[in-house]
Each structure stands twice: as C-alpha cells, then as structure tokens.
C-alpha cells in the first residue's frame, strides 16, 4: 500500500511539474509507464479497491453524522422545548432523552424495553420526550393522533397508553387502538373527539418536518443528552446515558 501511495505521489509530482515547468514535461511514454505501474499494482492488489470504497463510505457517514449534529444544535429549541410533546419524567431531570418513534415500528418495540428499564433504574434522573413520528402507514398515523389526543387527559393517562401501543405487535386498526386506550384508562370517546382537532395533525406534521431537517430516516431515533443514537442500539444508548449521568 505504501509503495502504491508512493507511485501515486510521484505521478502527481510529475504532473505538477508538467504544469509548472515546461522543461520538465512528461512524455507520452512517461505517462503510459505510470499508468501501467498503477494498473499492474491494482490488478496484483485488488483489495485496495475495497479498502478505498470502505474509506469513502466511512467519510460519507462521518459527513452525514456531522450534518445531523449541526442540525440538532440549530434546532435545539424545537427538539427540547415544544410544550405539545409528550414527556415522561420531571422537568428538572439530570438527563433528557428524546425519541422519534412510530407505534408500528418493531425496533421501537425493542427500544421500549430499554426505555422502561431506564425509568426503573434511574427514576426521576431521566426525562423522556417522545416525538410522534408516524412513517409506517395509516395505522401509525392514527395511533400517533390517538396518543396526542390522550395526552390532553394528562401525562399519567398518556404514559400507560403509549407503552401499551408501542409494546403491541401487529396492526393497529381503530378497534385495537380503542381497546388499548380503554385498558390504559383513557376516555376513548373524548380521545376520538380530540383526534379530529386540526392542531393535532399540525403538531405531527411539524415533528415530521423537524425529523427531515435532522435527517431522521427511520425509527427509533434517539438524542441522549445531545448524543445522537439512530436505531435500537442498546449498547450505544447505555454508553451515551451513562456518560451523561456521570457528567451531571
């Protein structure tokens, strides 16, 4: 690899000389020789192509992640201070965790187990902000509307309903949503009336716009005290949470 890098550097140097010094121009034969050397090296060591592609992908991911962090910083107020968002945990918690989630998302169902475990372990030290981000069809949208409508009946009503829906497997037709709401202590009739309020769809659409700005392409998507963790990556979530708790 070092030899190949040296060959490329030499080729670049020679080409530079060609541009800057007419007396040192490469002949056609020189150029052809460099091409043959590089070609032969690649054919003898084809793994460098794979290495180069991996490095390109790594750099692309790094650029995307940096863009996400820049967007998180720019959108801090919308992320943390929207009074319409459901919250579980005290406002003076040591650590705030934001989750963009979809009730139909199987990975959100996995992540919900981690969320509940964190609440049990750390209690009032952690607050969760849930961003209703329905991206998996009409059932997802209806569930999000129902959850926000239930929030109007109090966070103590929303929390068990949220957990019931995100933990439920399979479709979420209206009948299933109503059933889960009822057993969670939600006034279903009132919920259905509130679901028709255009303000609820406005809220959901604004969360969708926020997600697009942040680059949220799937759910769940966590922001743990400023650290971005896409997906239900429990190890990364735990590391971010422990770091945040230790820093407090």
* CA max distance for the chain: 88
| Among 224, 208, 13, residue whose Cα is nearest residue 128 | 224
Q: Is residue 59 part of a domain?
A: no
Does residue 36 have a pLDDT over 60?
Answer: yes
Q: Is residue 61 part of a domain?
A: no
**CATH number for the domain harbouring residue 227:** 3.40.30.10
Chain-centroid distance, C-alpha 62? 14
Domain hosting residue 155, numbered range: 77-247
Provide the pLDDT confidence category of residue 245 given band limits of 50, 70 and 90.
very high
Provide the pLDDT confidence category of residue 2 given band limits of 50, 70 and 90.
very low
One domain for residues 131 and 223: yes
- Which residue among 15, 34, 50 closes a domain? 50
One domain for residues 91 and 161: yes
One domain for residues 127 and 193: yes
Give the number of domains in the chain: 2
Q: Is residue 99 part of a domain?
A: yes
One domain for residues 82 and 46: no
Written as six digits, the tokens of 135 are 């991206």
Residue 220: is the preceding peptide bond cis (ω within 30°)?
yes
Contact 215, 64 (CB under 8 A): yes
Burial of 217 (0-12, 13-18, 19+ CB in 10 A): exposed
Q: Is residue 67 part of a domain?
A: no
One domain for residues 39 and 161: no
One domain for residues 16 and 104: no
In 74-167 the beta strands, taken as DSSP E runs, fall at: 87-88, 95-101, 126-132
Contact 101, 130 (CB under 8 A): yes
Each residue's pLDDT tens digit, 44-98: 777 777 776 776 777 767 677 788 888 999 999 999 999 999 999 999 999 999 9
To 10 degrees, what angle do helices 138-151 and 188-195 make?
110
Question: Is the overall model pTM greater than 0.85, yes or no?
Answer: no
Residue 47 φ/ψ, nearest 5 degrees: -65, -20
């Amino acid at each position: 690899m070092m030899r190949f890098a040296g060959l490329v550097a030499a080729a670049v140097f020679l080409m530079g000389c060609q541009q800057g010094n007419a007396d040192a121009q490469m002949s056609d034969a020189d150029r052809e020789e460099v091409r043959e050397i590089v070609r032969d090296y690649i054919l003898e060591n084809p793994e460098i192509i794979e290495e180069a592609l991996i490095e390109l992908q790594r750099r692309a991911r790094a650029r995307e992640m940096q863009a996400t962090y820049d967007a998180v910083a720019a959108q801090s107020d919308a992320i943390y201070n929207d009074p319409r968002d459901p919250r579980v945990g005290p406002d003076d918690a040591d650590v705030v965790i934001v989750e963009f989630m979809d009730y139909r998302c199987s990975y959100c169902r996995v992540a919900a187990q981690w969320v509940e475990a964190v609440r049990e372990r750390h209690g009032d030290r952690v607050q969760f902000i849930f961003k209703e981000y329905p991206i998996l069809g009409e059932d997802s949208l209806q569930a999000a509307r129902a959850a926000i409508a239930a929030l109007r009946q109090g966070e103590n009503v929303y929390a068990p309903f949220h957990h019931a829906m995100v933990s439920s497997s399979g479709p979420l037709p209206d009948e299933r949503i109503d059933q889960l709401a009822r057993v969670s202590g939600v006034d279903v009739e009132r919920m259905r009336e509130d679901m028709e309020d255009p303000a609820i769809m406005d809220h959901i659409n604004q969360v969708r716009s926020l997600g697009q700005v942040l680059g949220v392409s799937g759910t769940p998507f966590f922001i743990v005290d400023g650290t971005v963790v896409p997906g239900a990556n429990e190890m990364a979530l735990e590391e971010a949470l422990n770091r945040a708790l230790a820093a407090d």
